[in-house]
């Protein structure tokens, strides 16, 4: 019985990770595009800097007390969202650039 439980647990965990998706956000012309996304718990979001020259970062102030590193054109930043919630972020160097990730 214990063995069956373990097998089922492993199965559920591997199903969850197999179902986890990657969602993409582009950064172009000082905007996060799309500005708001809805993902499922466990999904990973990848931001790609599509500017020609401008650097940016992705700062979830409620989650990270320290500002993350900036990243340059064609570089990416990624984050996995294990818990449901509504998460606002902005670009540290350009606080008018804002975005939101809703995790359901």
Residues that bind Cu ion (CB under 5 A): 56, 91, 94, 97
R_g of the chain, CA atoms, integer Å: 17
Rounded to 10 degrees, the C-alpha dihedral 63/19/38/80 comes to: 20
Task: Tell me whether residue 28 or residue 41 sits nearer to Cu ion (CB atom).
Answer: 28
Task: Tell me whether residue 40 or residue 100 sits nearer to Cu ion (CB atom).
Answer: 100
Task: Tell me whether residue 40 or residue 98 sits nearer to Cu ion (CB atom).
Answer: 98
Compute the least distance from the CB of residue 12 to Cu ion, in Å: 39
Compute the least distance from the CB of residue 93 to Cu ion, in Å: 5
| Rounded Cα distance, 85 and 74, in Å | 29
**Two tokens at 44?**
């990973």
């Amino acid at each position: 019985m214990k063995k069956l439980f373990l097998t089922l647990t492993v199965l559920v965990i591997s199903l969850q990770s197999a179902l986890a998706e990657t969602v993409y956000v582009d950064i172009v012309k000082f905007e996060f595009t799309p500005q708001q996304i809805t993902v499922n718990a466990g999904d990973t979001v990848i931001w790609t800097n599509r500017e020609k020259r401008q650097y940016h970062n992705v700062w979830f102030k409620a989650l990270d007390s320290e500002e993350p590193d900036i990243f340059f054109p064609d570089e990416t930043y990624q984050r996995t969202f294990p818990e449901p919630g509504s998460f606002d972020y902005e670009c540290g160097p350009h606080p008018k650039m804002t975005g939101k990730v809703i995790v359901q």
